[in-house]
Amino acid sequence: MPLSPHHLHRSVDPRLQTARIFILGAGGLGAPLAWFLARAGIGHLVIADSDRVERSNLPRQILHVTARVGAPKAESARLTLQRIHPATRVTPIPARITATNILQAVAGCDLAVDGSDNYSARHRLNRACLNCRIPLVSGAVSGFEGQVATFHHGVDPEAPCYHCLYPETNANDTSETDPTTCATAGVLGPVAGVIAALLAAEVVKTVLNRPAPHDTGSLRLINLRNSLDLRIAIPKDPACPVCARPPILPNPPT
Ligand SMILES: [Zn+2]
């Protein structure tokens, strides 16, 4: 008997079924991440990517296929995800996410995932998560190395944000390309897959509200060449221009 979308999701937690997740980037991280999230039963994925599929993407960007070289990545992602898991709704945004349109793109989502490859986009999404009061799951890959962090600054005023970890400087503010990520440093497909799986686990854990005690304010660093896996604390920057709370003024002299 063929299975309906209802049957496919019969054992999925309803919080996953009703979750709406924004994914910035349908490339090295975003493609396998979206694949895992659809398989996990996430109900709605909003996927933003302004790039088109290139032949060189295919070894690691597992949502795209040879026949779609030249097609918008966001739309290619939707086509593959609808085929493998029709119960997951996919909204593609095949446009560049700018300071002007990001709030509209993220609005209504329960959580955002950063799988982009440039500093400007990362900082833009960090701010949008604060404005929209949602958590941010952030990933990066370079060679054999990867990073994963979940930022709760949108929902917890005590939590640090991406800017606390990587302050926006003139150098990285004006450069679109993050030198530590795939655009310039090269990414191995299996490394992107591992980091994407960890990002998916962070998303599921956050949607199900099952954080570990160290989750707020820590960065996980993984190096698959030397089997390194460590976690470092991210202190909240009391002067962070994004997430610092308004300063507490001293009592006026009496
Ligand atoms: Zn901050």
Q: How is the beta sheet containing 136-142 ordered, strand by strand?
A: 89-93, 44-48, 20-24, 111-114, 136-142, 145-151, 218-223, 228-233
Question: Is the CB of residue 113 less than 8 Å from the CB of residue 97?
Answer: no
Distance 135 CA to ligand 1 centre (A): 13
Say if residue 174's pLDDT is above 50.
Answer: no
11-233 has which fold?
A: Rossmann fold (3.40.50)
| pLDDT tens digits for range 71-124 | 999 999 999 999 989 999 999 999 999 999 999 999 999 999 999 988 999 999
How remote is the C-alpha of 193 from its chain's centroid? 14
- pLDDT over threshold 70, residue 54: yes
pTM (2 decimals)? 0.87
Question: What residues does 154 pair with on adjacent strands?
Answer: none
Question: 220 C-alpha vs ligand 1 centroid, how far in Å?
Answer: 18
Tens-digit pLDDT profile for residues 124-167? 999 999 999 999 999 999 999 999 999 999 999 999 999 999 99
pLDDT, tens digit, 9 for 90 and up, residues 184-224? 456 788 999 999 999 999 999 999 987 666 667 899 999 99
pLDDT of residue 11: 80
C-alpha 253 – ligand 1 centre gap (Å): 31
What is the whole-number distance in angstroms between the Cα of residue 234 and the centre of ligand 1? 10
Centre of ligand 1 to C-alpha 159, Å, is 8
- Catalytic machinery residues: 182
Residue 184 is predicted with a pLDDT of 44
Q: Domain coordinates of the chain in residue numbers?
A: 11-233
- The pLDDT tens digits of the residues spanning 3-27 come to 555 555 558 899 999 999 999 999 9
> Do 129 and 97 meet the contact criterion of CB atoms below 8 Å apart?
no
Res 182 pLDDT > 70: no
Q: Is the pLDDT of residue 169 over 60?
A: yes
pLDDT score for 246: 67
For residue 136, how many C-alpha atoms fall within 13 Å in the half-sphere facing its CB?
A: 33
Q: Which helix (H) or strand (E) holds 155?
A: none
Q: Which of 123, 206, 105 is nearest to 164 (CA)?
A: 123
The answer to whether the CB of 39 falls within 8 A of the CB of 84 is yes
- 58-72, 86-100, 231-245: segment of lowest average pLDDT: 58-72
Range 49-65 average pLDDT: 88
